[in-house]
Amino acid sequence: MNRMDAAFEKLKSEGKSALIPFITVGDPHIDITLELLLGMERSGADIIELGVPYSDPLADGPVIERASARALQNHITIRDSLQVAKKARERGASIPYVLFTYYNPVLQYGAEKLFNEMVDSEISGIIIPDLPLEESTPIREIADRYSIHLVPLVAPTSKERVKQIAQHARGFIYCVSSLGVTGVRSSFAANIEDFLDEVRTASDLPIAIGFGISNAEHVRRFSSQCDGVVVGSAIVRRIEEALPLLQSPQTAQDGVLQICKFVRELKS
């Protein structure tokens, strides 16, 4: 049983939905990432998406694009993401982590090597947004060998592909709430509840929703229908706002606490 499966099962038995924050590794510094992983867990995060910064984040809006640029100034790599996950485990972190990376860094690093090291870092899953179903078989076969979940994305436009994607899904199914790129939204696709029902009937796996979820009301709205709710840009934007605190050793902890306070609000 993968750590992620256990987390979803436990939450389901408690009638709860997973709060799944996304942060970019190394934004603004790898030591801050470590403190955020531990602090967000203490603040109610149930699963954390660890974003590997990339120079060409096609599916990302401006907030995460800027976070990737800040992290790349520190030359953050996939290896750093694996190491910070391992350090968090050594510091007592127990919630599941999902590595979030575009396909190119996976190819550069070597898929076999990556999955082998993900086991060592106790990372439970991976999301590769620009890996289409048609090209995903070799990666899924490696992932299955290491019992790591290759989590697929489905969007309202996926239509009949939802069934195909669901058949090959592992871990959970990431439902994108609306078209376009990541980023805070005030409204979602009109038929979003129908879309979620469609995904629900296509698979027994947990389903999580992401894109634009930015406050406790959004989290509450989707928690009844989804097993997980992903919040990225709204958290990353608070990291950006707290940069002056985070970038000075004397006040970094205050900055971390500010972000953790927001996570606690989302979980409330």
Ligand X SMILES: O=P(O)(O)OC[C@@H](O)[C@@H](O)c1c[nH]c2ccccc12
Count the Cβ atoms, other than its own, within 10 Å of residue 57.
Answer: 21
Edge to edge, the sheet with strand 48-51 lists: 149-150, 125-127, 97-100, 48-51, 18-24, 228-231, 207-210, 173-176, 153-154
Task: State the catalytic residue, choosing from 5, 49, 117, 198.
Answer: 49
User: Which CB, 49 or 198, lies closer to ligand X?
Assistant: 49
User: Which CB, 60 or 80, lies closer to ligand X?
Assistant: 60
Task: State the catalytic residue, choosing from 5, 60, 65, 198.
Answer: 60
Strand spans (E) along 132-259? 149-150, 153-154, 173-176, 207-210, 228-231
User: Which CB, 239 or 260, lies closer to ligand X?
Assistant: 239
User: Which CB, 122 or 130, lies closer to ligand X?
Assistant: 130
- Contact residues for ligand X, defined by CB under 6 A: 22, 49, 51, 59-60, 64, 100, 129, 153, 182-183, 210-213, 230-234
Residue at shortest CB range from ligand X: 232
CB of 37 to ligand X, least distance (A): 16
CB of 217 to ligand X, least distance (A): 14
207 beta partners: 173
CB of 174 to ligand X, least distance (A): 7
Active site residue 56: no
Strand spans (E) along 69-165? 97-100, 125-127, 149-150, 153-154
CB of 110 to ligand X, least distance (A): 22
CB of 58 to ligand X, least distance (A): 8
User: Which CB, 124 or 233, lies closer to ligand X?
Assistant: 233
29 beta partners: none
- Contact present, 245 and 255 (Cβ < 8 Å): yes
Active site residue 204: no
- Contact present, 80 and 27 (Cβ < 8 Å): no
CB of 92 to ligand X, least distance (A): 25
Tokens 């030359």 locate to: 75
User: Which CB, 33 or 233, lies closer to ligand X?
Assistant: 233
Tokens 């894109």 locate to: 211
SS3 track for 21-90:
EEEECCCCCHHHHHHHHHHHHHCCCCCEEEECCCCCCCCCCHHHHHHHHHHHHCCCCHHHHHHHHHHHHH
173 beta partners: 207
- Contact present, 258 and 238 (Cβ < 8 Å): yes
Please list the active-site residues.
49, 60
